[in-house]
């Protein structure tokens, strides 16, 4: 585990509101309880629960969203989540979140995202590179003669499956407006038991036509028609791919669509029975592009190092193979070539340093 922490890593599938520290959630619950809005003892055991089915996970998100509805809290959780990933030696993070409108808090999708940006800018534990465009953010790594730790943070705006076509298009428009502010793509997520692919398709096609990369939560539940329609759309990446059958694997592999693999999340939610039968092994053996990710580090009490450590033990991979797997993620990030080049340098330096 210590070795997995020391290795530089790339996180491409992390939901902001799923990555909040338990201690922060408990504190926010206590604050709301003091105001009489909730009964904190009712929610404490829900926050601390370890095993959750997929449907319980979405109930948990409804609770989390009650605790994180104002701009100040969104800023706080963003700052903490980035600090936690940086402390785990994540050098490039694509953080995804669903822009939320909440009239009672004077919050629009835009002001929600501004609160997220405020959180990113307020990180001071490490140097943050937020944009391919903002050259001022590309500060030198040397500060007073000492090297500062650095994390590249890019944002994906999520469309929730509960949203209407118009709301989804609004999210894509916002992503386009914020392209210079670190937004690099679009995600489709939310309860896979809800909603229809045709509802989001116009927004996703609009994003594609505008050149925004797309990642889709795909195959979390058995739904062959939707899985094939999603693959036919040719997204740049997909997440999970748990309930694929032979035909879907064939299409995925022939199209070489990279898969974001979230081991702990899949096992905790029982979308995969156990790690020994996880599709990671087959995809890895087939040399299919894949990247290990956390999904919801807070909700599933994990970290990216923990995911690598799990893969190392479960699939019998050596340290060198683990390192190369982490490095290969560079090829599928949504940021531009300049960032890819810088990440290659970071990995090359680390390869020598950790003696592989």
Residues noted as catalytic: 220
Cβ at position 160, least distance to ligand 5GP in Å: 5
170 binds ligand 5GP (CB under 6 A): no
Token couple for 94: 């694509």
265 binds ligand 5GP (CB under 6 A): yes
Q: Is 194 or 277 the residue whose CB approaches ligand 5GP more closely? A: 194
18 binds ligand 5GP (CB under 6 A): yes
Cβ at position 308, least distance to ligand 5GP in Å: 19
132 binds ligand 5GP (CB under 6 A): no
Positive or negative: CA dihedral 173, 177, 181, 184: positive
Neighbours of 112 (CB within 10 A): 20
226 binds ligand 5GP (CB under 6 A): no
Query: Of 12-20, 148-156, 323-331, 345-353, which part binds ligand 5GP (CB under 6 A)?
Result: 12-20
Alpha-carbon distances, residue 109 vs 14, 23, 42, 114, 261 (angstroms): 19, 27, 30, 9, 28
8-state DSSP, 194:
S
Cβ at position 227, least distance to ligand 5GP in Å: 13
Phi first, then psi, for residue 203 (nearest 5°) are -70, -40
17 binds ligand 5GP (CB under 6 A): yes
158 binds ligand 5GP (CB under 6 A): yes
98 binds ligand 5GP (CB under 6 A): yes
171 binds ligand 5GP (CB under 6 A): no
15 binds ligand 5GP (CB under 6 A): yes
Radius of gyration of the chain from its Cα atoms, rounded to whole angstroms: 19
Q: Are 131 and 181 spatial neighbours (Cβ–Cβ below 8 Å)?
A: yes
The DSSP string of 232-275 is HT--SEEEE-TT--HHHHHHHHHHT--EEE-HHHHHHTTSSS-G
- Distance CA(159)–CA(175), nearest Å, equals 11
The residue count for binding ligand 5GP (CB under 6 A) is 17
Among 25, 61, 280, 343, the residue binding ligand 5GP under the rule CB under 6 A is 61
- Distance CA(8)–CA(18), nearest Å, equals 22
Binding-site string for ligand 5GP from residue 290 to residue 319, where x marks contact by CB under 6 A and - marks none: -----xx-----------------------
- Distance CA(88)–CA(86), nearest Å, equals 5
Among 163, 220, 260, 342, the residue binding ligand 5GP under the rule CB under 6 A is 220
Residues that bind ligand 5GP (CB under 6 A): 15-18, 61, 97-98, 158, 160, 189-190, 192, 217, 220, 265, 295-296
């Amino acid at each position: 585990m210590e070795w997995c922490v020391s290795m530089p890593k790339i996180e491409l599938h992390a939901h902001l509101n799923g990555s909040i520290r338990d201690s922060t959630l408990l504190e926010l619950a206590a604050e709301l309880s003091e105001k009489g809005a909730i009964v904190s003892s009712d929610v404490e055991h829900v926050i601390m629960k370890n095993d959750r089915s997929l449907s319980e996970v979405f109930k948990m998100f409804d609770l989390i969203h009650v605790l994180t509805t104002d701009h100040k809290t969104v800023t706080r959780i963003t700052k903490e989540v980035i600090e936690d990933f940086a402390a785990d030696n994540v050098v490039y993070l694509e953080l995804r979140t669903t822009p939320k409108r909440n009239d009672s808090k004077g919050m629009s999708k835009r002001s929600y995202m501004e609160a997220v940006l405020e959180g990113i800018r307020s990180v001071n534990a490490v140097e943050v590179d937020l944009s391919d465009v903002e050259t001022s953010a590309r500060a030198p790594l040397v500060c007073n003669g000492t090297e500062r730790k650095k994390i590249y943070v890019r944002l994906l705006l999520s469309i929730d499956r509960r949203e209407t076509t118009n709301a989804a298009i609004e999210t894509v428009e916002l992503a386009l407006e914020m392209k210079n502010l670190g937004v690099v793509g679009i995600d489709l997520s939310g309860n896979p038991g809800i909603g229809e692919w045709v509802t989001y398709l116009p927004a996703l096609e609009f994003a594609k036509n505008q050149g925004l990369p797309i990642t889709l939560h795909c195959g979390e539940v058995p739904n062959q028609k939707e899985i094939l329609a999603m693959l036919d759309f040719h997204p740049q990446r997909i997440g999970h791919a748990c309930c694929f059958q032979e035909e879907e694997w064939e299409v995925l592999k022939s199209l070489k669509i990279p898969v974001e693999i979230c081991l702990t999340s899949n096992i905790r939610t029982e979308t995969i029975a156990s790690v020994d039968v996880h599709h990671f092994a087959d995809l890895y053996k087939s040399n299919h592009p894949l990247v290990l990710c956390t999904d919801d580090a807070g909700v599933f009490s994990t970290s990216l190092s923990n995911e690598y450590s799990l893969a190392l033990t479960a699939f019998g991979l050596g340290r060198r193979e683990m390192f190369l797997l982490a490095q290969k993620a560079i090829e599928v990030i949504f940021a531009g070539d300049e960032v890819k080049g810088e990440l290659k340098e970071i990995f090359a330096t680390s390869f020598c340093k950790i003696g592989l």
